[in-house]
Structure 1
Amino acid sequence: MNLKKSLLTLGLIFSIALVAPAQQFRALVFSKTAGFRHQSISDAVVALKKMGKTHVFSVYTTEDASVFTDENLAKYDVVILTTTTGTIFNAEQKAAFQKFVQSGKGVVGIHSATDTEYEWPWYNKMIGAYFLSHPAQQTLRLEVVDQNHPATWHLPKNWLWTDELYEFREINPDIKVLVKADESTYKVAKGNGDNHPMAWYHDFDGGRVFYTALGHVESAWEDPDFLKHLYGGIWYAATGHPMK
């Protein structure tokens, strides 16, 4: 009887393995902070794990920078810098991260990923800009200037949004802007003027990079439009599929 039960259990496990979906790609969600820590990080990690289940990609979450080695990063297709801050990598980890990008892999930056690694010029060019300032949380008009990217396919031309609204310095002129802030619709801190990018992408050093400044507020991580926006960027960075 025990043998029959064992065989039945093995058969069930085998059947489940046969029907389990293959993962599209593997994502490393990295949320280490060495500066300000956002309360929304825990919401982000939960949402990204759920996103992985919904869209059939694997998610590994950590705040341990020691995972940034050549051998370990080779397991992943995309690194998602989830509201990181400050100096979070040592020299060896920086070198491994650069090799990861140069091998044709993807990077996604969320919100304060631009408030990270201020003394690393490669990182500045890769992520696309550095954080400058922000006013109080407000509602504004976001202008979707490029609807031909998977991060913006679903968005209207005018997107009403409430968040902590980043302003930037040292903006890489090679980034391709997807979404801009309309500064006439809210009170700025220092401002970026008519060209105030809030989401962008670009090919960089052999890899693909997507960044969105949104995601400070916890409610963003339950918002369907934001989550579709983010998943489109992740899918692009991880797979490199052509945009239509």
Structure 2
Amino acid sequence: MRGLLRFALEQRFFTFVGAILLVGAGIWSFQQLKIEAYPDISDPGVDVITLAPGLAAEEVEQQVTIPIERALNNTPGVLNRRSRTIFGLSLVQLTFEHSMDNYRARQLVLERLREVELPEGLQPVLGPMATPIGEMFRYVIEAPHLDDLQLRELQDWVITPRLLQVAGVADVVPFGGLVKQYQIQVDPLLLEKYRLTLEDIAEAVAASNRNAGGALLDNRQQSLAVRGVGLLRGVE
């Protein structure tokens, strides 16, 4: 200690330069420091959400939740795992070590979800990358000259895309209103008469509601693309 004091007194120039460097480094570190009123101390987490319309909670657990849990059992860095199953919905929540990067955790989960075999038509998706201390903002759309269907279209096609472009917005979840859809009213007597099933009707609708690509038709100096347009545009 005495040697350090003797050096500081004898080598005043180097001591002064060192002090300036330390002060400069401290000011730079303070400017780079992220200061938050409520710092996020939660561990990284990933939510796996699977919609299973029409399936009871017991069926969702056996056919969806349990296979997903088995596939994610050996995911590196997982601290704990929780799952919740209700009618038509499966939610599996994974909590990772604090040192795990959020993007790395989501990549590990996606790699293991590819191996999961689920009933046809069910596709697990990852929830938004948000933290438990994130804020939720709720709003209501009102317009006397618009009905519930038009209000939902305004939300889905105008408001939601613009909100997702705002920095810090993780997800937008609309609720309420009427979603535009085309319904086929099936007559059981006609089904029995023509010996058809509901699966036959569904396959016929799916096969007719698509576009077909063709070849190129040479027309002197240009080529014309031939295609068949079969997508449904209305109820007629």
- Give the shorter-chain TM-score range: under 0.3
The structure showing larger relative contact order (alpha-carbon pairs under 8 Å, at least 6 residues apart) is 1
Structure with greater strand share of residues: 1
TM-score, normalised to structure 1, is 0.22
